[in-house]
Chain A
Amino acid sequence: MNSRFYLRLAKTNISKNRNIYTPYHIAATLIVMLFYCLISVTTMVAKSDSSTMAFMLGLCTVICGIMSLVILFYINCFVMRRRKHEFGLYSILGMEKRHIARVMMWEVMLTGLFCIVAGIVCGAVFSQFFFLLLMYIVKLPTRLSFTIPLGGVGVTFLLFAAGFALVLLYDVLSLRRTDPIALMRSGKEGEREPKARWLVALIGLVTLGAGYTLALTVKTGSEALMAFFPAVLLVIAGTYSLFIAGSIALLKLLRKNKNFYYRPKNFISVSGMIYRMKQNAVGLANICILSTCVLVTLSSTVCLFIGEEDILRSMYPRDVAASCVANTPADGDKLREAAEDHAKAYGLSLENPTGFYRIFCPGVRSGDSFKVQTYFDNSTYQVYLTTLEDYNRNTGSTQTLGKDEVLAAVYGEPLQGTTLSIAGHDYRIAQEVDLPAFIGAADKMKALVVVLPSFEALQTQLGEINANLSDDDARVLFYHYQYDTAGGKAVSADYYDTMYSDFAAKVPTLSRVQDVNGARNEFYQLYGTLLFVGIFFVALFLICAVLIIYYKQITEGFDDHDRFRIMKNVGLSDAEVRSTISKQVLLVFFLPLLTAVLHISVAFPVLLKLLMAFNMANTPLFLGCTAGSVLCFSALYLVVYRLTSRTYYRIVQA
């Protein structure tokens, strides 16, 4: 037997197993294409000077590469499982394992070569499109230059060549471990009825419940950050155990109910589902988790991207935010004047100026007394101290305070008494007020705002706070000045560029000047890249989910073919067969989607709070993004369902 023979056999095998191999080829090509696009976009971005973007894209490329290989392996396992019988037949016809291994080698080589080359070619075509998309998203100007980075081609080729080599190694090793009779018989052995594993089902229920409870009970952003990953792990564990054991336990309960069970449709569905769940629970749970990943990624990245301007405004309520250390009340005046002079020099004026003195520190609360410590954690309050004058001016009120009297506002546990102690200094609370907006307290974080009678009182308090802190940790009294720029003219870049140096000349204690424009560019790059990366991962997840669904349908089709033939013999009409099949398929198919939607609904509050860590606090927007993602994904899922169930029906009714 010469090598031509093996090559020919490999070719025939691939074309004979078209309904298994075509999706494999398409998926592998898409994966190679995505990876190549990502790597070539990264190369193109690296040439420009955006280091944040290049770093994020680079990181994403690595993760994407690893995921690609995992998916490749996963598909290959499916393909091999379906073909075991065929290899068994070859053994019986007299081919030795090394001969089969040679056929396998040709098959993998043909598949690998085709997919890598096709993937890189498609990638070369589409990478420019992706690059333009990225530039459009991050709102950077682009010059259209079509490049094919050779390094990217090389890396893609090597990575996937290695991937396919591993696949081949795995196939050959798994061939070595089996004997022909086992290969022939695989898939035919009478499967035992799965046992209802009540304990696992219970554990699943408990872990899922715990995950959900964790997700539903978080109150603050930092809690959400802490709780998110444990909750995700719990929910994943719960999903797997419920799909694997819970489903079977539930079906067995249904079977015990004789009046329900002995109805034509339930009878066939319930008993069939028990087996179906045994074989497919893991696959279904995978689909469910992947779908949830898609939904979470899509909704949050889209939301961040759309909500960029909101986030920007919450971080920069005004166009410009400047601050200086205030040792005397005059320091604030200097900063104000510097800002006005600077604007005047450009023929502009200030609008909506807000200025205030502020001490900001972490406070540990016990009762109504707050001790200052050096760091923020879950239990600390964000303590803001300011003056009465600033409070009255910025809120338009006309409060008065005596010595050691304060106005207080709190977010978190309500104040209990009429006195308040900060770093050992006792105050009488003249009045409790609402949290003033100008102070810039972070949304939904435990906060205490105290309005002291005067600048001097603020300085005294600062001394008391710093008495217990080392010099390195000492808190500082700042003057913050924020304003928009107005004047009808377009504001030149120069206006912003010269701001810092101009201010610094007049204000010796200047600490920083930020403008919304510079921040905006950074934001677009950060969130735009996040969205871009999100799109890539969604694409990968989708490919994976679609493939699992497709192969599941095929496998089930072959199983059900025999079952339904027998039922027809015993007196089930074609119409009944069809309606039973569609009921079963629908249930199995949409179970993961429904669970995924349930997961994301429960995760919604946590995600919302996590987004707040990005200063994204627009609930309706996130709700819209989530609903949109769910709708789009469901529509896509439906299309996949339609396409794959056609194949399924063809197999069952053959």
Chain B
Amino acid sequence: MPLLEVKHLKKIYTTRFGNNPVEALKDVNFTVEPGEYVAVMGESGSGKTTLLNILAALDRPTGGEVLLAGTPTSAIPEAKMAAYRRDNLGFVFQDFNLLDTFSLRDNIYLPLVLAQKNHTEMAARLEPIAKQLGIADLLDKYPYEISGGQKQRVAVARALITHPQLVLADEPTGALDSKATESLLHVFEEINKAGQTIVMVTHSTRAASHAGRVLFIKDGVVFHQLYRGEHTSAEMFQKISETLTVLTTGGNSVE
């Protein structure tokens, strides 16, 4: 059974002023198997952030549905939504979303504290993750004391500590320099190898080239997808670039 199923997803925004609705997602369909590492690519305004927000249950679709491990997210009552998100999903954001008022350790603990886990269990969970992400020495510092790359690793640790079924990443490399990007992508690969399912939204070819599969979204539909198979990252990079070229130049002629 696929971990994530997206069926005929549709999202229409109506702006407050003027009543011409904007169709962000037209008809999106795809599935994600357990252990997969999927990158969703598209230009600005292609609807990829909308898609991620719906996957994260932060936003409700106008039509269609999302099933996580067979359960439609629309079936979860509003009151339990926050807990559901906390237990099943991990988030990594472009701007890290770390709280300056907490030390890094407490930032990572935040979802567990909200889930009322006890302190010894939290510590036990954090240890291997911190070691794996190379942030074990930083834990007592504060977000404003560390670099962007380190912040994003902390954010990844926070996403992983609940042992979520699915990690959703929104442009995780968007605010990082190339070295930090490379290192973060390596981290993603590592955790994916360890069995973690990841869906990452990005418009960076480099970021997408590390994924196992790349979905291209354009004008609210899944336009194309690439499997990595046995290709190396460099080859994948090449293929994605070609696809993007087709999308932006040749793509127009399709319509």
Contacts and interface: CB of A to CB of B under 8 A. Distances in A.
Contacts of A275: 100-101
A267 B97 contact: no
Contact of A566 (B99, B113, B115, B142): B99
A467 interface: no
Contacts of A271: 99, 101-102, 106
A150 to B, nearest CB: 53
Interface stretch (B21-29, B65-73, B85-93, B216-224): B85-93
Contacts of B99: 271, 563, 566-567
A572 B82 contact: yes
B82 A573 contact: yes
Interface string B97-139: 1111110001001110111101100100000000000000000
Given A192-B144, A262-B122, A571 B111 contact: yes
Contact of B100 (A191, A258, A259, A574): A191
B143 A263 contact: no
A573 B79 contact: yes
Interface string A198-226: 00000000000000000000000000000
A193 to B, nearest CB: 6
A446 B158 CA distance: 71
A285 B103 CA distance: 27
Contact of A569 (B91, B102, B122): B91
A145 B230 CA distance: 100
A571 B57 CA distance: 11
Nearest to B95: A566
Nearest to A273: B101
Contacts of B116: 263-264
Given A190-B143, A272-B101, A569-B93, A259 B81 contact: no
Contacts of B91: 569-570
B58 interface: yes
Contacts of B234: none
Contacts of B113: 262-264, 267
A575 interface: yes
Contacts of B86: 570-571
B114 A264 contact: yes
A261 to B, nearest CB: 8
Given A259-B119, A571-B111, A576-B114, A566 B101 contact: no
Contacts of B158: 570
A274 interface: yes
B12 interface: no
A280 to B, nearest CB: 14
A573 B102 contact: no
Interface in A294-321: none
Nearest to B87: A571
Nearest to B120: A258
Nearest to B102: A271
Interface in A566-616: 566-576
A563 B101 contact: yes
Interface size class of B (residues with CB under 8 A): 20 to 34
Given A190-B144, A569-B91, A258 B119 contact: yes
A61 B4 CA distance: 75
Contacts of A566: 97-99
A204 B83 CA distance: 43
B191 to A, nearest CB: 18
Nearest to B110: A570
B194 to A, nearest CB: 22
Nearest to A189: B144
Contact of A571 (B83, B101, B102, B142): B83
* Most chain B CB within a 10 A radius of its CB, from A258, A263, A566: A566
Interface string A174-202: 00000000000000001111000000000
Contacts of A193: 101, 142
A644 to B, nearest CB: 22
Interface string A20-43: 000000000000000000000000
A267 B119 CA distance: 12
A259 B120 CA distance: 9
Interface string A245-260: 0000000000000110
A199 B5 CA distance: 60
B243 to A, nearest CB: 31
Contacts of B143: 190
Interface in A263-299: 263-264, 267, 271-272, 274-275
A571 B119 contact: no
Interface in A464-512: none
A569 B170 CA distance: 12
Nearest to B109: A262
A572 B82 CA distance: 6
B140 to A, nearest CB: 11
Interface string A536-564: 00000000000000000000000000010
B102 A570 contact: no
Contact of B81 (A263, A264, A573): A573
A264 B118 CA distance: 11
B49 to A, nearest CB: 13
A566 B110 CA distance: 11
Interface in A144-194: 190-193
Contacts of B122: 262
Interface string A132-153: 0000000000000000000000
Interface string A71-98: 0000000000000000000000000000
* Most chain B CB within a 10 A radius of its CB, from A190, A263, A568, A571: A571
B114 A571 contact: yes
A574 B81 CA distance: 10
Contacts of B79: 573, 575
Given A570-B91, A570-B111, A573-B81, A267 B142 contact: no
Nearest to B98: A566
Nearest to B100: A190
Contacts of A573: 79, 81-83
Contacts of A258: 119
B97 A274 contact: no
A264 B117 CA distance: 9
Q: 5 closest Cβ contacts across the A-B interface?
A: A573-B82, A190-B144, A571-B86, A566-B97, A271-B101
9 contacts: A271-B99, A271-B102, A271-B106, A566-B99, A569-B91, A570-B97, A571-B111, A573-B81, A574-B82
Interface of A: 190-193, 258-259, 262-264, 267, 271-272, 274-275, 563, 566-576
Given A267-B109, A572-B114, A576-B114, 17 more contacts: A190-B144, A192-B142, A193-B142, A262-B109, A263-B113, A263-B116, A267-B110, A271-B99, A272-B101, A566-B99, A568-B82, A569-B93, A570-B97, A570-B110, A571-B85, A573-B81, A573-B82
